[in-house]
C-alpha cells in the first residue's frame, strides 16, 4: 500500500466531532461503485482502506440506491468510534413534501441498512429555497424528537446546488440557528460561499462539509474550455482575467499541484471553516491520489486569491 501524508483533522463546528479533512462520500457519479460495476467486496476494501489512511467521516443517503446497505456491510465489525457517520432523509418527492411519518420511516430504514443504533449527523437532503420554511415548520419537530430519542446526534442540511448556487437555504438555516452542520458545494469554479455563508458558519460555529470539490470539467480540458468560454460570452466571468483560452487554468499547475482535480481539492480544503471535503470515488487509487492532494502543501495564497477574483461572483454551476 502507498505511503500517504498523515491525515489532518478539524472540528465540525460546535458538534465536538473531530473529522478527517478528507471525507468519503457514497454518492457521486459512481454511486459508491454501483454504476461502475464495483462489487461489495471491492466497496468494503475501499472503506477499509479509507479508514486505514485516517478517513473517519463517511456520508451516505437513502437516495443513493443501495449505498447505505453497502456501507453498512463494509463497516460491519469496525469499532463504532473509528468513524463519524452521516446520512440524510428525503424531505420531498417530485415537489410533494414528506409528512412526519415518512421522516420516521426514512431514519429507521437508514439505521437498519447502516447497521447502527445511532447516526452522528442526520441531514435534510437537498433542501430547496422555496421549500425551506414549510419543510422546517412541518418536519423539524419530528426531526428533533428523533434526535432526542437517540436516533442521531446532530441535525444538518445539504443544499441543492443546481437550484441554489447562491446558497440561500444554507445561509438562512445558519442565521436562523436551525442546524449544527451544512453541506455546501464549494469549489474553485464556484467559491461564492466565501461571501456570506462561510462567514456566517464561522460566527455561529456551524460545521461545514464541502461537496462537489471537483467536477468533471476539471478533468476534461475541452469541456472546461467550453464551460469557461460560455461563461465569458455571457458575462458571468471577466474574460480579461482568463487571457489564455487554450489552457485557462494552467497557471495552477505548479510545484506540488500536478492536476486540476488536485488543485480543486486543495482549494476546497483551503478555507479554515471547511471541516471535511468529500470525495465520491469508488476507486482506491483515486482515493489515495485525492488524499495526497488534500493533505499535501496547500495552494499558494496568491492562487487562492486569483481564483476568488475570477470566479467569486459566479452564481451558477460552471463545473458540471
Catalytic positions: 64
* 302 Rama class: left (phi>0) / alpha (psi -120 to 50) / beta: alpha
Comparing CA positions, the residue from 52, 51, 57 lying closest to residue 20 is 57
- Which backbone phi and psi does 232 adopt, to 5 degrees? -65, -45
Write the burial class of residue 16 (CB in 10 Å: 0-12 exposed, 13-18 middle, 19+ buried).
Answer: exposed
Q: Is 252:260 a contact under the CB 8 Å cutoff?
A: yes
How far, in Å, are 229, 254, 303, 312 from residue 246 at the CA level?
10, 17, 19, 22
CA-based nearest residue to 71, from 95, 93, 55 = 55
Amino acid at each position: 500500500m502507498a505511503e500517504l501524508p498523515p491525515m489532518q483533522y478539524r472540528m465540525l463546528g460546535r458538534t465536538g466531532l473531530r473529522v478527517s479533512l478528507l471525507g468519503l462520500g457514497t454518492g457521486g457519479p459512481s454511486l459508491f461503485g454501483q454504476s461502475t460495476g464495483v462489487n461489495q467486496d471491492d466497496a468494503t476494501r475501499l472503506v477499509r482502506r479509507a479508514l486505514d489512511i485516517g478517513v473517519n467521516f463517511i456520508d451516505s443517503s437513502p437516495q443513493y440506491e443501495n449505498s447505505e446497505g453497502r456501507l453498512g456491510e463494509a463497516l460491519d465489525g469496525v469499532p463504532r468510534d473509528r468513524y463519524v457517520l452521516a446520512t440524510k432523509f428525503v424531505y420531498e418527492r417530485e415537489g410533494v413534501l414528506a409528512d412526519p411519518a415518512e421522516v420516521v420511516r426514512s431514519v429507521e430504514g437508514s439505521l437498519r441498512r447502516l447497521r447502527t443504533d445511532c447516526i452522528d449527523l442526520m441531514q435534510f437532503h437537498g433542501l430547496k429555497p422555496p421549500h425551506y420554511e414549510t419543510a422546517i415548520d412541518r418536519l423539524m419537530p419530528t426531526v428533533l424528537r428523533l434526535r432526542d430519542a437517540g436516533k442521531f446526534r446532530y441535525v444538518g442540511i445539504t443544499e441543492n446546488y443546481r437550484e441554489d448556487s447562491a446558497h440561500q437555504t444554507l445561509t438562512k438555516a445558519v442565521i436562523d440557528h436551525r442546524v449544527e452542520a451544512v453541506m455546501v458545494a464549494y469549489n474553485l469554479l464556484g467559491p461564492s460561499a466565501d461571501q456570506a455563508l462561510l462567514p456566517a458558519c464561522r460566527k455561529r460555529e456551524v460545521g461545514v462539509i464541502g461537496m462537489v470539490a471537483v467536477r468533471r470539467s476539471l478533468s476534461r480540458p475541452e469541456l472546461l474550455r467550453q464551460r469557461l468560454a460560455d461563461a465569458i460570452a455571457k458575462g458571468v466571468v471577466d474574460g480579461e482575467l482568463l487571457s489564455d483560452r487554450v489552457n485557462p487554468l494552467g497557471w495552477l499547475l505548479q510545484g506540488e499541484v500536478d492536476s486540476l482535480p488536485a488543485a480543486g481539492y486543495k482549494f476546497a480544503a483551503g478555507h479554515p471553516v471547511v471541516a471535511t471535503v468529500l470525495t465520491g470515488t469508488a476507486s482506491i487509487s483515486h482515493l489515495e491520489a485525492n488524499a495526497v492532494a488534500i493533505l499535501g502543501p496547500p495552494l499558494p495564497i496568491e492562487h487562492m486569491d486569483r481564483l476568488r477574483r475570477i470566479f467569486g461572483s459566479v452564481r451558477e454551476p460552471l463545473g458540471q
